[in-house]
Chains A and B, each alone.
Chain A
Amino acid sequence: MSSRRIFARPARFAAIAPYVWMVLFFLVPFGFVLKISLSQTAIAQPPYEPVFDLTAGWDALKAAFAALSVDNFKLLGSDDIYVFAYVRSLNVAVTATTLLLLIGYPIAYGMARLPKRWQGIAMVLVIVPFWTSFLIRIYAWINILQHDGLLNQVLLALHLVSQPVVWLSTDTAMYIGIVYSYLPFMILPLYATLAKMEPALEEAASDLGAPPWQVFWLVTFPLSLPGVGAGVLLCFIPIVGEFVIPDLLAGSNSLMIGQTLWLEFFTNKDWPVASAAAIVLLVVLLVPLLLYERLQKRQLEQGR
């Protein structure tokens, strides 16, 4: 009994710690953003009102609450710019995630089938680019993709094109940048599930008469779905809110929601609308997250 006592407290603390963290660094800031999204822009410091002043007394606080409105959310719905930005963001995220899955799966599969001692090296090769700043790597792509950049030089030298191709400020450049940057997030969870899969399962399938493509579709792929889910979400969610890559590599005629947010916040100094846009984005992203969680729960119930 006494030993149980000793362990009880740290154990309970360990269980609470993540919640404390979430409340302090996620829920409270979220409350701030929510409050700002319900405020009105103002030429002031901070650039919105009303501002809660806890020292002003109960009545002043009540008045401040009464002044809150959902006008900003109405604006988001009424102005095409925002709707287009959301649609484009989701569009880009879906396309990019599909590309990532199509490129990442064969790489992860190949890695998982390498001899054990090569797997570690392959893993390092996947992770190594992270040792350089993300921004520098995107600038490197600008260098490669620009008018007299490496890519055009190679294409010209091989006589594949007669004139330099315009890469920069196109969606192609943006997709190259996104796929390049997010590939490890797709590969690593896929690799993890594929590597721990029992090789005998694939052998059993082929022993029972399944040619290689059926072995893949009927056994390997269904069993790697947890990894697919993790990889897709790890890529999809941040890509929806991506700002740097579209800003540096894509054209400026259609913006993603991350860029719109930036514009509202820093150029227009309209914090309330920017906050409202961020909250809508969060709600949009919550849907796939909840779906994923339900999927995981179902898998847990079935036992790994």
Chain B
Amino acid sequence: MAEESPGTKVAAETAGGDACPDAGQPLLRIEGVAKTFGTFRAVDGVSLDIKAGEFFALLGPSGCGKTTLLRMLAGFEAPDEGRILLGGKDIALALPHERPINMMFQNYALFPHLSVRDNIAFGLKRAGMARAEIATRVSEMVALVKLEGLEKRKPDQLSGGQRQRVALARALARRPKLLLLDEPLAALDKKLRESTQGELMELQRRLGMTFIIVTHDQEEAMTMADRIGVMKSGKLAQVAPPRELYEAPHSRWIAEFVGDINLFDGETKLRDGHRLVIGTRDAGALVVAEPREGVGSGKLAVAIRPEKVKLSRRGPVTEAGRETAINILDGVIADICYLGGTTTYKVKLDTGGMLQASVANSARLDIDAYSLNQHVVAWFTPDDCVVLQS
């Protein structure tokens, strides 16, 4: 379990109104939270700080506990252990209607008997807001999510995309300190999902709100979030910005879960300054950069992302290339997967293993494209490799 930079000790004072908490003090602090259903430990000791204005994504396979964690933040489940501090105040046992947190539900959970206007106004009325103020806020929200003219419609008279917007407007209307989004885009088709991702990010930045999104779609998490928490079996496996998560995964599991990766198991053979030589079964000896935290003596795995692998017919061509491209492997093209922007080649290495290489299709007419069974040379630099404890 990884924890992000420890925040300063939280004062017992609640941050008043909509004002941002002091810099350094997290808006939300989750401390050793656990939840067990029967004998199943759905959330197993999660600690996490979330800063005000952050766009945070909880990512993980289904059943990893991310939704349970979100439901505990919303108040639909009470944690068995741990504390949930919002602006310094423990809300772990507060009821949902007592929390300044709103949630956008996976299937939107719009009230079918209420119009778009009344759905959005629902939370405002509960807050005892004045009639005129409610009307102003509702039209503000309707404009924000571009639903003008549909105020009187019932949810079943709307398209999926429009329903999603109503759900968002309803959750934002109360200007919550924290907005929880449970798979908010899962029900949309791909094109709409991509444009909505952009709109959500834009909105979050404009409103300066804190968003926590739960998703199983890593591209979605990568695109939108400032930081991603990857969950596995109820625990946070790694919390990092998207780039760090992708380029410096903490574990073999993370490396395989996020994106595609080539993994070669082996053991340290030689140590030369900052370079390690790792003997692998499938790819021979590979030279890698020694990780800052060092490596243990046990079994290791060398991980290399497919797009870091270069291919050519005769190996690295430039002088510079010759110096840095220390790992050079010969092989034969075994499989070609054309994806439009890129092509993924599977190279059967002479050493026995299989290596995936992703090549950008930078030219429309490529007479040099590789064909099946063609002999190729694959190479990559030591810095492109990540060494993982097996």
Which A residues contact B (CB, under 8 angstroms)?
A: 198, 200-201, 203-211, 214, 218-219, 222-223, 302-304
Contacts and interface: CB of A to CB of B under 8 A. Distances in A.
B123 A209 contact: yes
A201 B76 CA distance: 12
B123 to A, nearest CB: 4
A154 B107 CA distance: 53
Interface residues of B, number: 26
Interface string B106-123: 110111110000000011
A114 to B, nearest CB: 16
B170 interface: yes
Contacts of B170: 204, 208
B8 to A, nearest CB: 30
B97 A211 contact: yes
Given A205-B122, A207-B74, A209-B127, A200 B105 contact: yes
Interface in B326-355: none
Q: Determine chain A's interface SS by DSSP, over half rule.
A: helix
Contacts of B188: none
Given A207-B103, A211-B97, 19 more contacts: A200-B105, A203-B74, A203-B109, A204-B109, A204-B170, A205-B111, A206-B75, A207-B74, A208-B97, A208-B122, A209-B174, A210-B122, A214-B126, A219-B111, A222-B113, A223-B113, A302-B154, A303-B154, A304-B156
Nearest to B128: A209
Contact of B107 (A198, A218, A302): A198
A218 B127 CA distance: 14
Contacts of A201: 109, 111-112
Of all A-B residue pairs in the complex, the 3 with the closest CB atoms, nearest first, are A208-B123, A209-B126, A200-B109
Contacts of A219: 111
Contacts of A304: 112, 156
B53 interface: no
A203 B156 contact: no
Nearest to B156: A303
Contacts of B102: 207-208
Nearest to A302: B154
A302 B156 contact: yes
B111 A203 contact: no
Contacts of A209: 97, 123, 126-127, 174
B105 A203 contact: yes
B372 interface: no
B104 to A, nearest CB: 9
Interface string B20-52: 000000000000000000000000000000000
Given A209-B123, A209-B174, A222-B113, A204 B105 contact: yes
B241 interface: no
23 contacts: A200-B105, A200-B107, A201-B109, A201-B111, A201-B112, A203-B96, A205-B111, A205-B122, A206-B95, A206-B96, A206-B97, A207-B75, A207-B97, A207-B103, A208-B97, A208-B102, A209-B126, A209-B127, A210-B97, A211-B95, A211-B97, A303-B156, A304-B112
